[in-house]
């Protein structure tokens, strides 16, 4: 695997984590 591909995979996982975190915040905050 090339270095660029590794960077892309890391970046994608961070994006997915941010999307999941923001979605969880939208789901949980109204209930607090």
Residues 18-23 have a mean pLDDT of 88
Which pLDDT value is given to residue 10?
A: 79
Higher-confidence residue: 20 or 1? 20
User: Which two tokens mark 25?
Assistant: 């915040």
Asked if the model's pLDDT at residue 32 lies above 80, the reply is: no
Q: How far from 20 is each of 1, 2, 4, 5, 23, CA to CA, in Å?
A: 27, 27, 24, 22, 5
pLDDT, tens digit (0-9, with 9 covering 90-100), for 1-17:
677 888 777 777 888 88
């Amino acid at each position: 695997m090339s270095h660029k591909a590794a960077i892309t995979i890391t970046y994608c996982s961070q994006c997915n984590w941010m999307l999941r975190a923001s979605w969880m915040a939208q789901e949980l905050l109204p209930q607090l």
